[in-house]
Amino acid sequence: MPVISRGFHGRRRPDQDRLPPGQYEVRDFPVLSAGPTPMVRTDDWEFTVVSESGARHRWSWADLMALPSEQPTVDLHCVTKWSKFDTHWEGVSLDRLLEDVDTQASYALVHSYGGYTTNLPLEDLRHGRAWVVHRYDGSDLSPEHGGPARLLVPHLYLWKSAKWVRGIELLTEDRPGFWEGAGYHSYGDPWREQRYRGD
Amino acid sequence: MATLAGRRDETAGARTLVLDVPGWPGHLPGQHVDVRLTAEDGYSTQRGYSLASAPGTERIELTVQQVEDGEVSPYLVTDMAVGDQVEVRGPVGGWFVWTPDATEPVLLVGGGVGLVPLMSMVRTRRAENSQAPFRLIYSVRTPADRLFVPELLDGAGTETAVLYTRSAPEGAERAPSRLRAEDLVAHGWPADRAPTCYVCGPTGFVEHAAGLLVGLGHAPERIRTERFGPTGG
Q: Please give the residue range of the domain that contains residue A119.
A: 43-192
Q: What are phi and psi for residue A49, nearest 5 degrees? A: -120, 125
User: Is B130 a member of any domain?
Assistant: yes
B207 to A4: CB separation less than 8 angstroms, yes or no: no
B76 and B183 fall within a common domain: no
Q: Please give the residue range of the domain that contains residue B83.
A: 2-92
Work out how many CB contacts closer than 8 A connect A with B: 107
B69 and B132 fall within a common domain: no
User: Is A87 a member of any domain?
Assistant: yes
B93 to A114: CB separation less than 8 angstroms, yes or no: no
- pLDDT tens sequence across B65-124: 998 888 999 999 999 999 999 999 999 988 999 999 999 999 999 999 999 999 999 999
Nearest to B43 among A10, A26, A114 (CB): A10
ipTM above 0.95, yes or no: no
Confidence label for B229 from pLDDT (cuts 50, 70 and 90): low
Say which CATH number the domain at A62 has: 3.90.420.10
- pLDDT tens sequence across A128-148: 999 999 999 999 999 999 999
User: Is A89 a member of any domain?
Assistant: yes
User: How many domains are there within chain B?
Assistant: 2
- pLDDT tens sequence across B10-51: 999 999 999 999 999 999 999 999 999 999 988 889 999 999
B224 interaction partners in chain A (CB closer than 8 Å): 34-35
Q: Strand, coil or helix: what is B202?
A: strand
Question: B192 exposed, middle or buried (CB, 10 Å; 0-12, 13-18, 19+)?
Answer: exposed
B208 and B138 fall within a common domain: yes
User: Is B39 a member of any domain?
Assistant: yes
User: Is B233 a member of any domain?
Assistant: no
